[in-house]
């Protein structure tokens, strides 16, 4: 329950953080809210030799209305996303989902950027931003690039981020009045989702993403396609698990997860269509 020894550096800007990570290489890790990384270190499942603390890069904590989308600085805390009036107005699904991350203590420390960069399929915000068609802005030694959420998640805790790249901004398209729902199924209020669903619907368009149904968050495009071609919600939701390959654990077998995903997608779409 105590981490292995490590060095600690604090960065005061994205540029400094990137130059530090380039300097220390593969053994270094960014430290944002620490709420995914530190538990892994304490269990000695991760043992970076250097931590580069980016939590105090205050100019990466912001929420801006950028016209078609909302721009969120990577170091914005879950709590700020949850209570932002701009996000509540334009991307209510995201504000709502942020309110389901862990407990208030967790939401005051954890960051949206950390949650996405960590690429945990059981996390709520990767799937939510995926459903919303977000774009992630990352910065590296050679400048910045944009990655569509649908191209970002590569495997369990693996993303398209290079070792020396930092996630700086999350761009989430405005929902333009779409109906939405976030379904988080867990045993205890503060637990991670056994299965979760983030969904929105506006006319023939929709976005449905699944939490904890595979080694990455899953965009259930089959469900959206079925809806677009006139299927009923009940029919479309039967396709929820088609693109997913869930595994089993103490909480749920793969089969039960598939079942849950269908029920939750149906419920989410019913709410989003109401």
Partner 1 sequence: MGGSILGNRVLRKEDPKFLTEGGKYVDDLLDEPLLANALHVTYARSTVAHGKINSIDVSEASQMDGIVAIFTGADLDLQQVPSAFNPMATRTLLATDKVRYVGEPVVAIVSETRSQGEDALDAIIIDYDVLPALIDLEKAMASDLHLYEACGSNVVFDTMVLGLPDNTGEAYFADCEVVVKGRFMNQRVAPCPLEVRGAAASWGENGRLTQWLSTQHAQGAVAPIAAANGVEEALIHVKTPDVGGGFGAKIGAYPEELLLGPIAKRVGKPVRWRETRSESMVALGHGRAQLQYVTIGGNRSGKVTHYQLWAIQDSGAWVDMGTILAPFMTRPMSSGVYDIPNIECRTTSVVTNTTPIVAYRGAGRPEATAAIERAMDMFAAKIGMDPAEVRRINLIPKFLEPHTTVVGQTYDVGDYETSLNKALEVSDYAGWREKQKAARARGDVKQLGIGVSIYVEITGGVGNGEAAKVEILDNGHALIYTGTSPHGQGHATAWAMLASEQTGIPMEKIDLVWGDTDLVPVGTGTMGSRSLQQGGNAVFAVSAELVNKAKAVAARLLEANEADIVLDKDSAAFHVAGTPALTKTWSELAQAEKSVGGALSHSDVIGVTGATFPFGAHVAIVEVDTETGKVTHLRHFACDDAGRVLNPLLLEGQIHGGVAQGTAQALLEEVVYDTDGNPTTSNLMDYAFISAAELPSIDVIHMETPTPLNLLGAKGIGESGTIGSTPAVQSAVIDAVSHLGVDHIDMPTTPQRVWEAIVAAN
Please select the residue that binds partner 1; options are 194, 219, 227, 240, rule is CB under 8 A.
194
- What one-character DSSP code corresponds to residue 95? H
Tell me: does residue 190 bind partner 1 (CB under 8 A).
yes
Provide the 10 A C-beta neighbour count for residue 190. 12
Please select the residue that binds partner 1; options are 221, 231, 251, 273, rule is CB under 8 A.
251
Distance CA 247, CA 216 (A): 12
Please select the residue that binds ligand FAD; options are 61, 94, 102, 265, rule is CB under 6 A.
102
**Among candidate residues 206, 209, 185, the one with its CA nearest the CA of residue 198:** 209
Return the residues of window 119-158 that contact ligand FAD according to CB under 6 A: 123-125
Helices (H), the chain: 14-24, 37-42, 78-83, 85-90, 92-98, 104-109, 112-118, 124-131, 149-152, 221-228, 233-237, 254-273
x/- letters, 182..211, toward ligand FAD (CB under 6 A): ----------x-------------------
Only one of the segments 66-74, 140-148, 237-245, 253-261 lies at the binding site for partner 1 (rule: CB under 8 A); that segment is 253-261
3-state secondary structure of 119: coil
Return the residues of window 14-53 that contact ligand FAD according to CB under 6 A: 29-37, 39
Q: Which does 114 bind (CB under 5 to 8 A by kind): ligand FAD, partner 1, none?
A: ligand FAD
Residues 6+ apart with CB under 8 A from 82: 95, 96, 98, 99, 107
3-state secondary structure of 185: strand
Q: Which residues of the shown chain bind partner 1 in the complex (CB under 8 A)?
A: 1-2, 4-5, 43-44, 185, 187-192, 194, 250-253, 256, 259-260, 263-264
Q: Which residues of the shown chain bind ligand FAD in the complex (CB under 6 A)?
A: 29-37, 39, 74, 101-102, 106, 110-111, 113-115, 117-118, 123-125, 161, 166-167, 192
């Amino acid at each position: 329950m105590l981490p292995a020894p490590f060095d600690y550096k604090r960065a005061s800007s994205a540029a400094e953080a990137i130059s530090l990570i380039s300097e220390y290489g593969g053994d270094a890790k960014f430290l944002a809210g620490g709420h995914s990384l530190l538990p892994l270190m304490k269990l000695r499942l991760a043992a970076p030799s250097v931590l580069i603390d980016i939590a105090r890069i205050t100019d990466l904590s912001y929420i801006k209305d950028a016209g078609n989308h909302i721009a969120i600085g990577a170091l914005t805390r879950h709590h700020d996303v949850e209570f932002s009036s701009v996000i509540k107005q334009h991307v209510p699904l995201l504000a709502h989902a942020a309110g389901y991350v862990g407990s208030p203590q967790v939401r005051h420390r954890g960051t949206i950027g950390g949650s996405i960069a960590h690429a945990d399929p059981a996390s709520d915000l990767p799937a939510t931003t995926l459903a919303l068609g977000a774009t992630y802005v990352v910065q590296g030694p050679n400048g910045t690039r944009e990655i569509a959420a649908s191209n970002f998640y590569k495997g369990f805790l693996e993303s398209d981020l290079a070792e020396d790249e930092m996630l700086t901004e999350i761009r989430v398209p405005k929902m333009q009045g779409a109906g939405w729902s976030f379904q988080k199924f867990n045993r205890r209020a503060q637990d991670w989702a056994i299965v979760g669903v983030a969904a929105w619907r506006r006319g023939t368009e929709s976005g449905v993403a699944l939490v904890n149904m595979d080694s990455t968050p899953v965009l259930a495009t089959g469900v959206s396609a079925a809806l677009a071609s006139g299927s009923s919600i009940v029919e479309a939701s039967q396709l929820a698990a088609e693109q997913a390959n869930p595994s089993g654990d103490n909480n749920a077998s793969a089969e039960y997860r598939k079942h849950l995903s269908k029920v939750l997608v149906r419920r989410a779409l019913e709410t989003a269509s109401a």
